[in-house]
Amino acid sequence: MKNYITTSFPSILCWVLMLLETLPSASAQSNHENTWKLVKTNNKNEGWKLYKRRVPDSKIFEYKIKGKVNASVRAAQKAALDLVINPKYYKSPKGKEYGTFKIIEQNQKEYTIYSLMYGPFIFKDRDVVLKYELYQNAAGNEMGLRWQNAQKEGYEATKKIIRMPVDIGDWNFKKLDNSSCEATNILRFHPGGKMPRWMINMMIKSRLPDELKNLRIAAKEFETKD
């Protein structure tokens, strides 16, 4: 059995919310660079490199992780979608639910999804509506999955739940050969509420490598099925 990283994004978010009660907020940084800066390198197995840059005219940082995936671009693309719509990524190893989701609309290329992350203890739940789009180039050697915040009637923000204002990302896969591709995941994110920027950055930096590991495992499984 493959060992998926089951500390899902909802669980990481819950941990960060609890940590807010015990740690002070950090002062604003003065770095105004908009170019990608290497943050960390991991050379184990296929490895990965993590980068960050400041979003222009914003206090938000954008993160990017790159690494090799031993699967075709098609299998990797299917794996990226699986990370979004497979319920197992919303649960702990013991089956505790960190959140839930609902596919509002879908066709062959697009998915509109409502996601709800449960807040621990006294903290409010958080939700978001995202539109996902599957894409590929004409040659079929580059594919991906991109997403951004969306508005949908019947799923408006409420006072009881914090609506996440920024969740924009892109999984991109470029063919290396018939059995491997280069994966790049770019994420721009803010969970809403009064969360310090340094803590948001810490949350993203810990999550992206786990996402890549899950994607590698899922992509190999889709490669076998295909």
Percentage of the residues of the chain whose pLDDT score is greater than 90: 62
CATH number of the domain bearing residue 95 = 3.30.530.20
Is 30 within the bounds of a domain?
no
**pLDDT for position 120:** 75
What average pLDDT does this structure show over 171-177?
98
Whether 182 has a pLDDT exceeding 70, the answer reads: yes
Is 71 within the bounds of a domain?
yes
Do residues 143 and 74 lie in contact, with contact meaning Cβ atoms separated by under 8 Å?
yes
Is 26 within the bounds of a domain?
no
Range of the domain at 201: 35-225
Cα separation, 29 vs 216, in Å, equals 34
Is 199 within the bounds of a domain?
yes
What are the tens digits of pLDDT across the range 37-96? Answer: 999 999 998 999 999 999 888 878 899 999 999 999 999 999 999 999 999 888 887 888
Count of the separate structural domains present in the chain: 1
Is 21 within the bounds of a domain?
no
**pLDDT for position 2:** 52
